[in-house]
Amino acid sequence: MIRRMADRLGHIGHSSQLRDYPDALHPLSSPTSSQSAVSSYLSQSSYDHRGSISTQATSMSEWSSAGTDNKRGGFSMDSDMDIIEEDRSLTRPKLVRRPRGVYRLSDFIIQRTLGTGSFGRVHLVRSKHNLRFYAIKVLNKERVVKMKQVEHTNNEQRMLECVQHSFIINLWGYFQDTANLYMVMDFVPGGELFTLLRRSNRFPDPVAKFYAAEVALALNHLHGLGIIYRDLKPENVLLNADGHIKVADFGFAKAVDTTTWTLCGTPDYLAPEVIGQQRYNKSVDWYALGILIYEMLFGLPPYHQAETNHLILYDRIQAGPAKVAFPPAAFSDQAKDLIMKLMEGDPSKRFGNMRHGAADVFAHGWFREVDWARLEAREITAPYLPRITGDGDASAFDKYPEDDVSATYGLPTPDLNGSLFPDFEYTAIS
């Protein structure tokens, strides 16, 4: 992928640490006072998983190897802005659904819980038929309806059903019973990029470049299908057993012909036009890529503040990146230039949204060494390989009390909400 990067990173492939980059374990190799502050701040437990917000209520972005709702930073139904309903009058591009299997709950052996959230939990399961491991997201229908997440839940299912890409999580099937929705997806054993970043404090330039390039390929694929992702952040980028990424959590993804205007996403990653309640397009994802690159290289997003005050944060975002600090120990000139062009406040001048589209991003000097074809074919050794002992190893995920909840799945209950999820077939019991 990146010239000499295979040589520099390839021999790290079977390690679970970024050992060839000792400075990756510290905020910056030559700390200034501001850089030392990053180290001090990251050493505190307060900077943890960030919840997403939406004018329609809370986010589906809550499935975490590390998290309880409290650890996620909470899921406030307040957006600090007026509520704006999604414009349903817009013409949406027609997506082609992939063939899918018909699954039943009885097809799987539930192994353990991988994550919990407001709507239910995610389980590691094993198929009785092919013996492969999967992750099943179980959503309680009553809670989804109560928290006004019906549209986001249906969107996630419909978007993933139409997407197939090396760097995007696979949805294999979905079904419902009287109480719950079930989504059968890839089991991605390496956990979150967020966890690796917090453990390292920051990534060296070649490592950040590797992950950013794979994310860029995933975004470009989604945009080619007319899908805006809308919730890019390290928490939603998972690491496969081979170290390559899988973008997950499509609760805010939406198929759009031109523009949309719902306020949703993660506050640190919101583009100024989203905050300004203006119509926006796929360029908000390229903006978020700029934020992601900054966070990977520095350890904190550019507008981050210790106090959780979204109004102050939004003011900073709308003021633009001109006053954002780019310490030279963390940012090369090329990296700074790309980040500034992705974080451009005027969407018409933002990289990824101009005449040449994503080609401007791929051709930028920071990505000069990238062999995009080889990268997309996963022919480049990843800079970090999770320590996985074998298929079904879930050691990257925290352990949760099982509470025997899986014994309740499939039991008949009153069903007042099944009609709200028309694509989820009733195959869970039979």
Please report the pLDDT score of residue 77 as a whole number.
27
Beta strands at 264-265 and 53-54: parallel, antiparallel or unpaired: antiparallel
Q: Which of 107, 177, 186, 231 is catalytic?
A: 231
Q: Which of 60-74, 125-139, 263-277, 413-427 has the weakest average pLDDT?
A: 60-74
How far apart (Å, rounded) are the C-alpha atoms in residues 175 and 23? 47
Percent with pLDDT over 70 in the chain = 78
Q: How far is the C-alpha of 58 from the C-alpha of 415, rounded, in Å?
A: 23
Alpha carbon distance, N-terminus to C-terminus of the chain? 48
Query: How many angstroms separate the CA atoms of 426 and 430, rounded?
Result: 8
Q: Which pLDDT tens digit goes with each residue over 166-189? A: 999 999 999 999 999 999 999 999
Evaluate if residue 428 carries a pLDDT over 70. Answer: no
How far apart (Å, rounded) are the C-alpha atoms in residues 209 and 383?
Answer: 10
> What dotted CATH number matches 5-49+192-376?
1.10.510.10
Q: Which two tokens stand for residue 296?
A: 């990977």
Residue 69 among the catalytic residues: no
Q: Hey, what CATH topology would domain 63-77+96-189+391-420 get? A: Phosphorylase Kinase; domain 1 (3.30.200)
Residue 95 has pLDDT above 50, yes or no: yes
pLDDT at 92 over 80: no
Q: Could you tell me which residue, 84 or 104, shows the higher pLDDT? A: 104
Question: Does the annotation list 146 as a binding residue?
Answer: yes
3-state secondary structure of 13: coil
Hey, what are 353's tokens? 């949204």
Range 399-423 average pLDDT: 93
| CA pair distance 405, 120, nearest whole angstrom | 10
Distance CA 165, CA 221 (A): 8
pLDDT of 216 strictly over 60: yes
Residue 138 near residue 122, CB atoms below 8 Å: yes
Rounded CA-CA distance 373/99 in Å is 26
Domain boundaries, the chain: 5-49+192-376, 63-77+96-189+391-420
Using CA atoms, how far residue 313 sits from 54, 63, 267, 296, 307, in Å, is 16, 25, 8, 19, 9
Which of 362, 360, 382 has the alpha carbon at shortest distance from 371?
362
d(CA 123, CA 353): 38
pLDDT, one tens digit per residue, over 386-403 is: 999 999 999 999 899 998
What the block records as the tokens of 156 is 């996630």
Written as six digits, the tokens of 60 are 């589906």
Q: Identity (one letter) of the amino acid at 230?
A: R
If one counts every other C-beta atom within 10 angstroms of the C-beta of residue 178, the result is 17
Position with higher pLDDT, 361 vs 428 = 361
Q: Given a cut of 60, is residue 208 above it in pLDDT?
A: yes
Structure tokens given for 371: 């062999």
Question: Between 351 and 22, whose confidence is greater?
Answer: 351
What is the pLDDT at residue 50? Answer: 73
Please give the sequence-ordered ranges of beta strands (E in DSSP) within 214-284, or none if there are none: 227-228, 237-239, 245-247, 254-255, 264-265
DSSP-derived secondary structure letter, 197: H
Q: pLDDT of 31-62, one tens digit each?
A: 344 444 455 444 443 456 776 665 543 333 33
Q: pLDDT-derived band of residue 98, with 50, 70 and 90 as boundaries? A: confident
Neighbours of 399 (CB within 10 A): 10
CA distance 214 to 380: 11
User: Averaged over 371-399, what is the pLDDT?
Assistant: 95
**Crossing angle of helices 283-298 and 333-342, rounded to 10°:** 150
Task: Compute the average pLDDT of residues 363-377.
Answer: 98
Question: What span, in angstroms and rounded, lies between the C-alpha atoms of 427 and 211?
Answer: 38
Q: How far apart are CA 254 and CA 158, in angstroms?
A: 9
Res 188: pLDDT:
98
Q: Whole-model pTM?
A: 0.83
Angle at 5 between CA 204 and CA 335, to 5 degrees: 45
For residue 22, pLDDT beyond 70: no
Residue pointed to by tokens 């990173």: 9
Residue 47 has a pLDDT of 56
Residue whose C-alpha is closest to residue 66's, from 405, 400, 416 = 400
* Separation of alpha carbons 309 and 174, rounded Å: 38
Q: Name the least confident of 86-100, 101-115, 185-199, 217-231.
A: 86-100
Please report where in the chains the tokens 């992750």 appear, as a residue: 135
Q: Is the pLDDT of residue 21 over 80?
A: no
Answer yes or no: is pLDDT of 329 > 50.
yes
Topology alike, domains 5-49+192-376 and 63-77+96-189+391-420: no
pLDDT reading at 300 higher than 50? yes
